[in-house]
């Protein structure tokens, strides 16, 4: 759960507001970690759609940023790669 909580907190550092998919995934992942549960997008309404969108948000973070010089795209790409492990196969 510690790794899941750490990932969730890292995601929440990059979200674009409460309406973003990245916020939805990060906040639900954090909530499940704090309850001692593993995040599974299949068990959370809308997350089969939100998870790929959150990954896309991370991969395009620098391109879509108002201040791209403040975006560490390498870090966002690493987070996107970590999130891909949660996609159902």
54-86 pLDDT tens trace: 999 999 999 988 999 999 999 999 999 999 999
Six token digits for residue 71:
């975006």
Are 47 and 41 a contacting pair, CB within 8 Å?
Answer: yes
Nearest CA to 51 among 78, 73, 29?
A: 29
3-state secondary structure of 39: coil
pLDDT range class, residue 9, cuts 50, 70, 90: very high
Quick one: angle between helices 21-34 and 47-59, nearest 10?
Answer: 120
Q: Which pLDDT does position 1 carry in this prediction? A: 80
Q: Whole-prediction pTM value? A: 0.91
23 neighbors 15 (Cβ within 8 angstroms): yes
């Amino acid at each position: 759960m510690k790794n899941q909580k750490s990932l969730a907190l890292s995601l929440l550092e990059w979200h674009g507001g409460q309406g973003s998919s990245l916020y939805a995934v990060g906040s639900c992942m954090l909530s499940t970690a704090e309850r001692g549960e593993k995040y599974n997008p299949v068990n959370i309404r809308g997350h089969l759609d939100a998870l790929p969108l959150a990954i896309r948000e991370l991969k395009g973070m620098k391109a879509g940023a108002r201040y791209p010089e403040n975006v560490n795209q390498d870090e966002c790409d690493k987070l996107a790669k970590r999130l891909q492990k949660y996609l159902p196969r």
